[in-house]
Amino acid sequence: MAAEYRVSMANPKPKSVTRPSQNSNVIARSKPAAAVKTAYSLAEREEIFRRFSVQRPEPKGELEHSNPFTLVVAVALSAQATDVGVNKATRALFKVADTPEKMLELGEEKVRDYIKTIGLYRNKAKNVIALSQMLVDEFAGTVPETREELVKLPGVGRKTANVVLSMAFGQATMAVDTHIFRIANRIRLAPGKTPDEVEARLMKVIPKHYLYHAHHWLILHGRYTCKARRPECERCVIADLCKSPEKSWDVAAPLIELPPQMIGEAVE
């Protein structure tokens, strides 16, 4: 190897350069950035969310709350529970404790009594008291308006923080719950292996002017139409656009504005 090196240095040769012929169509260009994974063109995505906007012009979350604090508590309690079940428990709870201070006065034992019909109620009651204490100690009793601060609260993860940012503070976020995760993968809108991966992809593929309501549109579509076990494709307003290999219908349902959904109606 040393001899070869000396020879090459003594008799340097220009490096060969491959040049396209005059008739070549090869054009030198930089490597394009990787495209976000989705089965839909921009025009198709625009049409999907346009239809959702006609169907539900002002979609609402279905957890009952009266202020940012009760929203944080309700969303934290909803983990591995239904909105219907959470609402039944919190109606009475929030009548007596709708601020962090009042929740601390109530105490963990009484909070448990109010929410004992909800799964994991013991641990959730502990978190409700702990997050109430942190709000009082570190945030002067107010709910913070950033994700970084919200996820510091006991029992509050990224999904809960995103719901609060959207519903309480009007920020465009994507809280990936079981419905959104299922739909993003099933219809190949933004497939991903984890909720965080799906969230990041949805934030990129959803047209910006539809992003604020997209979270609720996808949840409600998954809850009432594109259900887990028996998707009702014949009632789907995007059946003709849907690229799910599971779909059983190719004709879009009539595009009409729906009346306000009664919570619990048609839920699996």
- Please list the active-site residues: 159, 177
CB atoms within 10 A of CB 24: 8
3-state secondary structure of 34: coil
Using CA atoms, how far residue 143 sits from 27, 120, 169, 176, 191, in Å, is 55, 24, 10, 21, 33
Nearest-angstrom CA–CA distance, 226 and 182: 9
Torsion of CA 221, 186, 180, 88, to 10 degrees: 60
Classify residue 228 by its DSSP letter.
S
3-state secondary structure of 262: coil
Classify residue 231 by its DSSP letter.
-
Classify residue 171 by its DSSP letter.
-
